[in-house]
Amino acid sequence: MAKQALFKAYDLTRKKPHKIPSPPTKLTESRLSENEWKVSKRPEVRGSKKPVKKGRTKKSAAAAVEKAPKRAADLLRCKGGEFQCLHCEAFSDEASCGTACYKQFRREHFPSDRIDIRGPGLLGYGAFTKPGVTIPKGAWVGEYLGELRPLTADTTSTYRFEIPGVCAVDARSSGNWTRFINSHCRPNVKPWGETVGKRHVILFQALREIGPEEEITFNYGGRYFENAGFLCGCDAQKKAHLPAGAKQTKGKKK
């Protein structure tokens, strides 16, 4: 079994009052934020106090800038052999595992035509199972996709997940249906950092059976609401509230 690590949802530093954004009219599943990668510095280089060698030209100093990845797949590829594929259970240095695993995993676990986007409601748009669809407990429900941005890039997006040491996945303007998953204090899915076909992925797993026309939700966590400066409006409580783990002082009504 692959090592499971809970992702920190939305590394959010937004201080401004909250507004529900309109969804993009057309969503591209994933793309690279090319300009950001061209100018992004590697985190360890950024704070480095190493003296610049005598005679070093401006051009060679620019080598400290991260090399822009060419494709999303290059960026997400596992480095080293310690990651285990959720599909075939091979480790990331074994030749038997690769893109085919990723494609097969998606085909097997994410049938099309299961999810509806509904709204806007009180929490904006939301993701629901279609009539007649039931998702069993433990099933992989979807993959979080979006624009792949350097970890050092500005973080004001509320659609951002981090893959530690790799990149941030920001679904503000690119993504799939999972960008519409709202937060709930009694959620029915949970996000995990996983590896499929030598690729880092963020997957949502069903915490219980999800019935037809049920809203799919995960818990963004107390920190999200604390930083965003508004309360959780889910129906686990009658009034808007701070989810467990948030400090009481900062939340204010939306």
Ligand X SMILES: C[S@@+](CC[C@H](N)C(=O)[O-])C[C@H]1O[C@@H](n2cnc3c(N)ncnc32)[C@H](O)[C@@H]1O
Question: Which residues are near ligand X by CB under 6 A?
Answer: 18, 20-21, 23, 123-126, 158-159, 179-180, 182-183, 232-234
Note whether 185 binds Zn ion by CB under 5 A: yes
- Output the smallest distance, CB 195 to Zn ion, in A: 8
* Rounded Cα gap, residues 57 and 99, in angstroms: 40
Q: Which of 9, 101, 171, 189 binds Zn ion (CB under 5 A)?
A: 101
CB within 8 Å of 107: residues ≥ 6 apart: none
- Check if the beta carbon of residue 158 is closer than 8 Å to that of residue 192: no
Decide whether 173 or 205 has the Cβ nearer to ligand X: 173
**Least distance CB 190 / Zn ion (angstroms):** 15
Cβ distance to Zn ion smaller for residue 88 or 166: 88
Count, residues near Zn ion per rule CB under 5 A: 9
Bridge-based pairing state of the strands 147-149 and 140-143: unpaired
**Any idea what the Cα angle at residue 170 is, between residues 175 and 186, rounded to 5°?**
85
Binders in 106-165 for Zn ion, by CB under 5 A: none
DSSP of 15-43:
-SPP-PPPPPSS--S-EE-HHHHHHPBPH
Residue 145's binding partner among ligand X, Zn ion, none (Cβ under 5 to 8 angstroms by kind) is none
> Which of the stretches 34-42, 91-99, 111-119, 199-207 binds Zn ion when contact is defined by CB under 5 A?
91-99
DSSP SS3 for 125: strand
Extract the tokens encoding 198. Answer: 């030598």
Name the minimum Å distance from CB 176 to ligand X: 12
Q: Which residues are 241's β-sheet partners?
A: 232
Contact residues for Zn ion, defined by CB under 5 A: 85, 87-88, 97, 101, 185, 232, 234, 236
